[in-house]
Amino acid sequence: MKNKFEAVIFDLDGVITDTAEYHYLAWKQLSEELGIPLDREFNEKLKGISRMESLEIILAHGDRQNDFTQQEKEELATKKNAYYVELIKQITPDDLLPGILAFLKELKEAQIKIAMASMSKNAFTVTNSLGVMEYFDHIVDAATVAKSKPDPEVFLKAAEAISVSPENCIGIEDAAAGVTAIHDAGMYSIGIGDEKTLGHANTVLQSTEQLDLKTITQLYQTSK
Ligand code: B16
Ligand code: MG
C-alpha cells in the first residue's frame, strides 16, 4: 500500500465553484455577437483551456479563424472577459460547491498541503470572493503559465511551489483537459462530473459532496 498523500491540488472553475457556467455564458454572449452558435456540449471543449486558446477554438468552430487580426482577437478576448468579470461580481461564499468548505477544513486539520492550479487569470478574485483564500498554501498565477491544460505545467508549478513531489499529490478536475494535465504531471487524478468525459481519471466522483479525507485516502492508497 502507498504512503499517505501530502497535497491536494484543486482546479477552480467547476471544482471549487461553478464559474464554469459563467465562462459559458460570457463566451455564449460573445459568440452570438459573432454569429457563431455555441451550446453546452461544445463548451466542454473550452473547460480548462486558456482565454486566447478558447477564442481560437470558437472562431474555428464558426469557420471565422481568418477573419480577424491578432489585435482584433485580443479585443474579442478582452470583451469576453468583461462579460465574465461582470458575472463573477455576484460571487459570495454561498457559491462554494457542496462539501468543498468541509473538505478544505479537513485537509487543513490533517496538515495536508492545499494548492490551486487554475488557468484563470481571475482565480485570485474568485477565491477571495468565495472567502477561502486562507486555506491555500499556494495559488498558481495563470499569467506565469506558458502552456494551457492539457499540458501539465500548471499542476507541476503548483506542486513545486508547495515542495511536494507530484506522485504524492492528488489533483482534482472537472475538465477532460485538466485530468490529462494531472496524469501527465504524474499525480493521482480525481474527476468531478460525468464518467463519459472524465473516464481517463483514476477516480470519477459525481459531485464535490463526495470528497472527504477518508474516501480519497483509501482511493489513493489502494491505487497502483
Ligand atoms: P480567464 P480552470 C479555466 O479555469 C476555465 O476552465 C476556462 O474556461 C477559462 O477559459 C480559463 O480558466 C481562463 O480563464 O479567462 O478567467 O483567464 O478550470 O483551469 O480553473
Ligand atoms: Mg475547471
CATH class of 7-17+95-223: alpha beta
pLDDT number for residue 77: 98
130 touches ligand 1 (CB under 6 Å) = no
Residues whose beta carbons lie less than 5 angstroms from ion ligand 2: 11, 13-14, 48, 174-175
Q: What is the dihedral of CA 153, 177, 16, 3, to 10 degrees?
A: -60
12/18 Cα distance (integer angstroms) = 8
Report, in angstroms and rounded to the nearest whole number, the Rg of the chain calculated over CA atoms. Answer: 17
Query: Which superfamily does 20-90 belong to?
Result: Putative phosphatase; domain 2 (1.10.150.240)
Residue whose C-alpha cell is 499556494: 138
Per the CB < 8 A criterion, the answer to whether 215 and 5 are in contact is no
113 touches ligand 1 (CB under 6 Å) = no
Residue whose C-alpha cell is 470558437: 58
Residues annotated as catalytic are 11, 13
Alpha helices in 16-166 (DSSP H): 19-33, 40-43, 51-61, 70-88, 100-109, 123-130, 153-161
- With the most atoms of ligand 1 within 8 angstroms of its CB, the residue from 56, 78, 118 to mutate is 118
Per the CB < 8 A criterion, the answer to whether 138 and 9 are in contact is no
Q: What is the dihedral of CA 124, 174, 78, 25, to 10 degrees?
A: -120
Over the stretch 176-209, which tens digit does the pLDDT of each residue have?
999 999 999 999 999 999 999 999 999 999 999 9
CA of 1 to the centre of ligand 2 (A): 30
**Mean pLDDT, 10 residues at a time, over the chain (224 residues)?**
89 94 96 96 92 97 96 98 97 97 98 97 97 98 95 98 98 96 98 95 97 95 85
DSSP state at residue 189: E
Per the CB < 8 A criterion, the answer to whether 34 and 73 are in contact is no
How many CA atoms are closer than 13 Å to the CA of 163, on its beta-carbon side? 0
pLDDT number for residue 4: 84
118 touches ligand 1 (CB under 6 Å) = yes
Domain ranges of the chain: 7-17+95-223, 20-90
157 touches ligand 1 (CB under 6 Å) = no
Nearest ligand to the CA atom of 175: 2
pLDDT number for residue 66: 95
171/186 Cα distance (integer angstroms) = 10
193 touches ligand 1 (CB under 6 Å) = no
pLDDT number for residue 205: 97
